[in-house]
Amino acid sequence: MIVTMDGHDELMSLAERYWDSVLEAAPSEATLLGDRRFDDRIEDLSVDAEQRLLSTWRDLLRAVDALDAEPLSPTDRITRSLLRTELSGAVEHLEWRPVEMASDQMNGVHAGVLMVAPQTNAPRPEHALALVRRYRQFGDMLGQAVERFRAGLAAGRAPARITIERSLNQLDGYLDSDLAADPFVTFAGPEGWDGEAAWRSEMADVTRDVIRPAFQVYRDALYDELLPAARPDDRPGLGWLGADGEDIYQRLLRHHTTLPDLGADEIHDLGLTELAKLREEYATVGARLFGTGDLGEIFARLRDDPALCYDDAEQIMFDARRALAMAGTEMGNWFGRLPKESCDIVPVPEFLAADSPAAYYFPPAADGSRPGTYFVNQHHPTGRGRYETASVAYHEAIPGHHLQLTIANELDHLPRFQRQSFANTAFVEGWALYTERLADEMGLYEDDLGRLGMLAGDSWRSCRLVVDTGLHAKGWSRQRAIDFMVANAPVGLAEITVEVDRYIAMPGQAVAYKVGQLEILRQRVAATERLGADFDIKAFHDVVLGSGSVSLPVLRELVATL
């Protein structure tokens, strides 16, 4: 007897095969998500592994294209569209060999490992022992990374010097840190396990004898080989790599915005338009709070008044916790579906803090073994404005990323890639930026100083549209990008410098925030006009968040069903 799959079953099979291939290629990510099948493996960064993965994804893409959408349910049609978009984007992204340039402080092989290490856990003894086997292979992975960097140099893909300098700072900070506090030694192990002491001793040995020496070799390769060849600060963007760099940047814009026809010039002009709109809002709020509507005076007050900055690191954490407690009291009035998992709030690890953004978020493990975690950067508190803390907390935690990504993780009727993938940057980050404004509607900003923090966040993201495209498509220098940010966003110079260096390291990613936010706002306006008195904000938010991670074209389809 021959058993054939119907369209739904075939689609689910293709979706599962795709996500399995992603996790098998990224075993550390699988562990972070709570999938323990690959705990004893480490990332294979070789050309052969890359080509095998490309072949798998191309085969899956052909199979998705051959699957007739007509008989599928509306939910399955959305899944098919998303799977096709994600596969085609993954193929296009991997084709440009991104690992050859993964030496920076944000996307670098070392940076990813050091960010993930504190979030790794081993709920059971077999997980703990498997992770020992993984980390014994550490030298192989970092050795492959160095070989790929060399291939990139040979192909004319020199990195930007500032990104290598920041990577060296991170690596030196880690290598100089106390072994007893090393995240590879201290990550959570099985509770009540009588073998824990021996296991931790073995992990300390592996960290001392394998991991740290491998990082030292990697660090020396960056210093000896990449740093001398790196592009100076007056040529930091991809455009300086010629046709190859221009092609990579266009691929990255498509990858992060999920809009294939949105080009650098349009994005650049959009940023200038949005900044002009924000000046009017600043003038209104600034006049109430500071007695002036002059943008320069408002920015100077926000940057330079020590009373508006923190005295110590603990105050930052206190205010972040307070903001999220306030948000929690209002969530039921604005959302029908709420996450089951709570959100932890912890400091950014000290060895990463100086070269990291103000905050970031890790979603919970799918198996419930690790909560969603909001990381707060407490570095240089006297340079961090009090007015920013609430809006950043709402962006990263609730009603931002924690709400969004935890709900996605709990949508058990959807395939895993829809629940766990972050490929649709414009949707993921656009939602978080949308919630900074939503927080004002929810009454979460206690005063005009908090609203100026919201405006600061919005102008900062609008600046990204101009600065990212300026750096990578228009030949801007690093200093020109910094000067533009100083003139158009009331963020301190130290934070602006870290941010500009992030845009140099992550081309295209920064533009997705504002592009996504504006699309969500457009869809809300369209739904309000179409439905009139029947518009329900809870229903709108539930539809936006109810299909997991989606592309912006699919978001339009979803909102049209209201």
Tens-digit pLDDT profile for residues 261-271: 999 999 999 99
8 A C-beta contact, residue 128 and residue 199: yes
Supply the angle between the helices 74-95 and 243-257 in degrees, to the nearest 10: 160
**Can you tell me the distance from the alpha carbon of 389 to that of 321, in angstroms, rounded to the nearest whole number?**
10
Q: What are phi and psi of 123, to 5 degrees?
A: -65, -25
- Gap between the Cα atoms of 436 and 432, Å rounded: 7
537 and 504 Cβ atoms separated by less than 8 Å: no
Determine if the pTM surpasses 0.85. Answer: yes
Render pLDDT for 91-143 as a digit per residue (tens, 0 to 9): 999 999 999 999 999 999 999 999 999 889 999 999 999 999 999 999 999 99
Residue 176 has pLDDT above 60, yes or no: yes
Residue 168 near residue 222 (C-beta atoms within 8 A): yes
Q: pLDDT tens across 283-294, in order?
A: 999 999 999 999
- The pLDDT mean for the chain works out to 95
What pLDDT sits at residue 495?
A: 85
284 and 448 Cβ atoms separated by less than 8 Å: no
Sorting pLDDT into bands at 50, 70 and 90, what band is 321? very high
